[in-house]
Structure 1
């Protein structure tokens, strides 16, 4: 298929722009952020996807705020759902017309980590370090999917095909959460040890935190408590049955005790990451706040799921340590309480199919939980601006009209 493309690009801190770009090919070409060793990489195993829905993620927002080393011109977007419109000669099990979910992890399916279901740290897709993603700094330079079209490598391995095209299109607003935030939130809840009857605290009521809360409910938690500094986001958490704590008012432990009768929980999820603020009405940034508060709050023998993003380079860090990702974490407290910690990218493929089934069979309504809000691709700069100001919405871009039936914001 010939023709051009449109995509959302990072320009400078606080600025994104919708640009005309080249139509993708089955070759990774040179461009902003592309690892030199990946330039010219042929992807006979890849497909071209027409993007039906693609979302603005908090991880994108870190780059747009200038809190990473992302280069100008980087095409953003790693939450992608689409339709296969072209396939490479080595693709065997996908066909043109298939509707698919694209995990944000890029994985070869051949290395040791992929074979052990650790697709977030594939060894063969990023020359710099294990793990790759679309449209993200230091992740190999694979072009992002906040666009009309995108190339997906290792398609047979990576893509989740929906067998019933009509059912997938009907549930598209929910299914678009499968590429990242729903599995990421679920991974946080699972690795925190959530099970039937658990009491769970989720730090952060942004989209990933709300997804983690919905996941904890799906896993059978007795009580899910969500904490944040943003009243609008806390109201969104309450809208689907969560308890909440307002971290501008009183201590976390006291507020949890008011809800549970004890100042501790069985499991906790960090859905905030390195841009955490201290607790209190006018608290400034304090990147270890969430990790330390979770260790104080989780019972002895419990676990912390940490899907919140932490980075090795933060140009906007509050001090020299923070700028290198060195945080003042009370590891001694976690050690004394025999806590278990799980960090890193969610291996989306580990949860992909079962969460799709839960959506398709109405066991969870994840779009409602995260307040999914459809906007046009051209409106992406507005979405970034409003999200950065704390809007309690998950912005979903509609590049090719597949969500025209959903009322746009």
Structure 2
């Protein structure tokens, strides 16, 4: 069997590794460069992503990825200002009771992608813009590219994200809805805010702040092992420049409408806009944005794909954001899809199941999991959470009136800066 994958994101690369491990010929085509398109700096990694890593990647890759994750993230937290100091005013376990968020660990998304690219130099072809496909009489499918080149395989997989060119041709009835929401995301060296008390207050779990009509999401990434040392031990083939300058950091994100974001597009412009958006927050939070790495900020679009009817399976299929957008969970679900599709294609390659039936089984499972049935009113209230691509996987409680009431059990950290830290520092 031969498989063509369009898109070298987390899902496409996980699938490529899984197929290679099973002895299946695979080629990946990516229209962007080696670094890919900007998708934010951090990702909350849960059991779905971990299972896919362990099932599809070589042991050294798995060890490298897990060694450079942050600490356990087992709850969501709401932070507010109490008597001039930042305090945790609400905390809820990430146990699935109030929404689909699961326990996990934070990962540095560019590093994870660099790990996934390692060992695939002969498989991934960058700068290849997919333009369409043709089904052939012999049951194969031919992929067409902008430079006039073609490639032919038994299966074509669209792993090319929300703007999927594969989906536009294969399932033209499936439309992406732009919600008009954006998530402005950046990162700041942890050392820049180490003396504010914020790292100790939040710990490893995600936190959100709602204050005076402004909102901010935070997450600390403290690498379990220094990335450079982990590379030497587990994956020496990994590009050294992917780990050389990495250090612990604070991921931050600010929701904003496209209207308010305006024409800001460069990282420097987005950083300036973020400073405006957090101007009314506590000085420590303003410091986080003020001291941010200037080249990192990115504005992520929040879109949705409504549930669609089943289609007749064939030798073209899709995974991840190309077919089901999941703001806050996209990376995990793309890798989970890759895991499931790998298993289906291996069964077909071994003759254990007919190819189209195997792909249909994968698609049925993916649709069931990605587009569950209507929620009851009770379940809907219990899942009164909004998930953003910011961390992605951070759950942000939506509370009436947009204000957080102070909890009698609010947790403060002694020494947390009570308003004396200037954003101009």
TM-score (norm 1): 0.24
* Higher strand proportion (structure 1 or 2): 2
Larger Cα-atom Rg: 2
Q: Which structure has the higher relative contact order (CA within 8 Å, separation 6+)? A: 2
TM-score (norm 2): 0.24
